[in-house]
């Protein structure tokens, strides 16, 4: 009996360790861009044909577009939240089939959740669009102006609470302090999990409502993964360049993830902004005054989702794009460093970078690099950045070829491209047939 118990304990410990490893080894993939809704035949159907290649990146989660009826085709002006058939990306059946395909590859699916604001179907007696339809035969999410923030004077009747976050001029700001709003939005989110198959949330414009309000929805729905869009575009000097201290920027991100707690993470806009400035001859920016990474990843790496571009910053909008000829330096950084890296659809499929991105993702997986991996920055000067991760991987960015004795014996190059190179310790070296340098 004792022998069997010991064996059982050993199995349980192994399973627990495996579970921890899987939980740590996270890669997010953004599965759409700004114009995906235009795809003939529907985006959901089209994306099913790319699930296999997305899985090859080691992606553990995929971020899908807003799934509901929306006044704007991209989905960010939602109205009838239960009406998934009105989405420009495809039908509810198409969406469920796509999620099933991803689940078959052990990839969990995040819904893009837009709840800061909402578009109304009808006008009230004042002639104001503030009467909402939920998209069901019953009264779920059928709201009136009482559910709009009182300080959103364009739409409100003045009876709601004041907004807990930033205003949004293009549509009514929803009153998240209203108990009915909290209850019915939580029910809707749980329906997306239970009936549609989603596993977690990407929270759009999370600046629009406070962290305590976001916590209500996270606590009520128990998602496996939550990431917030809290866009901050850095602080700049008089010369138009980012200031050396971006602590206020990343403090905003840190405050949010701590305020929400649980699985909450945030897109690391601070790292994106600093990195895209640094690769333009200012790589000294990649080490802060305390010798750490300059973004949220330098403070709370397990809570930082790092990225190069997304449907807003890049794609056809190009609101804050990474330098196009240096995108792979961005991926060399995020895919070998702490944090949770996010791969953008366009770079993988439209830019022809799938081979290079996949190689870097394999290095991450092979060496067990995870959100909390140890980062040691060895050099950060104008034309070169060198860092060691977990004592097993070394990454160099920048045009300088000679890095002196920073690369110890026993490390071998396993990936290189335009102004980046990655070395791996010999005992983790890829088989000869899988080296790409």
What are the helix (H) ranges across 335-374? Answer: 345, 354-366
Residue 229 annotated as catalytic: yes
pLDDT value, residue 11? 39
Digit-coded pLDDT (tens) for 110-138: 999 999 999 999 999 999 999 999 999 99
**Over the chain (437 residues), what is each successive 10-residue block's mean pLDDT?**
44 40 75 98 98 97 98 98 98 98 98 98 97 97 98 97 97 98 98 98 98 98 98 92 96 98 98 98 98 98 98 98 98 98 98 98 97 98 98 98 94 98 82 43
Residues 6+ apart with CB under 8 A from 253: 230, 232, 266, 268, 269, 270, 296, 304
With b meaning 16 or more CB within 10 Å and e meaning fewer, what string describes 384-420? bbbbbbbebbbbbbbebeebeebbeeebebbbbbebb
The chain-wide mean pLDDT, for the chain, equals 93
Catalytic residue among 133, 152, 204, 288: 204
Catalytic residue among 133, 175, 229, 346: 229
First to last CA, the chain: 54
Backbone φ and ψ for 153, nearest 5 degrees, come out as: -65, -20
pLDDT value, residue 19? 41
pLDDT value, residue 22? 40
Residue 146 annotated as catalytic: no
């Amino acid at each position: 009996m004792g022998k069997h118990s010991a064996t059982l304990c050993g199995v349980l410990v192994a399973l627990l360790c495996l579970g921890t490893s899987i939980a740590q080894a996270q890669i997010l993939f953004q599965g759409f861009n700004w114009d995906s809704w235009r795809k003939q035949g529907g985006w959901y159907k089209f994306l099913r044909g790319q699930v296999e290649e997305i899985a090859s990146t080691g992606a553990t989660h995929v971020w899908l577009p807003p799934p509901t009826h929306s006044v704007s085709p991209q989905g960010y002006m939602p109205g009838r939240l239960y009406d998934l058939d009105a989405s420009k990306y495809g039908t509810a059946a198409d969406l469920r089939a796509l999620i099933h395909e991803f689940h078959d590859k052990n990839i969990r699916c995040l819904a893009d959740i837009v709840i800061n604001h909402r578009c109304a179907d009808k006008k009230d007696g004042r002639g104001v669009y503030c009467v909402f339809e939920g998209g069901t035969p019953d009264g779920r999410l059928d709201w009136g102006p009482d559910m709009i923030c009182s300080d959103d004077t364009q739409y409100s009747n003045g009876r709601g609470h004041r907004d807990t976050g930033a205003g949004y001029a293009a549509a009514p700001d929803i009153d998240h302090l209203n108990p009915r709003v909290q209850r019915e939005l939580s029910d809707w989110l749980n329906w997306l999990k239970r009936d549609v198959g989603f596993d977690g949330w990407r929270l759009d414009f999370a600046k629009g409502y406070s962290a305590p309000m976001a916590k209500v929805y996270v606590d009520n729905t128990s998602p496996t993964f939550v990431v917030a869009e809290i866009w901050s575009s850095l602080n700049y000097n008089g010369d138009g360049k980012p200031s050396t201290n971006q602590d206020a920027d990343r403090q905003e991100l840190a405050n949010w993830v701590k305020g929400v707690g649980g699985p909450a993470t945030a897109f690391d806009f601070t790292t994106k902004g600093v990195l895209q400035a640094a690769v333009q001859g200012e790589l000294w920016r990649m080490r802060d005054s305390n010798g750490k990474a300059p973004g949220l990843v330098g403070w709370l790496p397990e809570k930082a989702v790092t990225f190069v571009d997304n449907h807003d910053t890049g794609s056809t909008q190009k609101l804050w794009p990474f330098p196009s000829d240096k995108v792979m330096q961005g991926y060399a950084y995020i895919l070998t460093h702490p944090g949770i890296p996010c791969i953008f659809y366009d770079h993988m499929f439209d830019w022809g970078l799938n081979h290079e991105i996949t190689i870097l993702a394999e290095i991450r997986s092979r060496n067990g690099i995870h959100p909390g991996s140890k980062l040691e920055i060895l050099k950060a000067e104008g034309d070169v950045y060198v860092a060691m991760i977990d004592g097993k991987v070394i990454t160099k960015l920048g045009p300088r070829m000679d890095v002196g004795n920073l690369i110890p014996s026993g490390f071998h190059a396993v990936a290189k491209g335009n102004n980046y190179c990655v070395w791996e310790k010999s005992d983790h070296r890829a088989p000869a047939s899988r080296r790409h340098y």
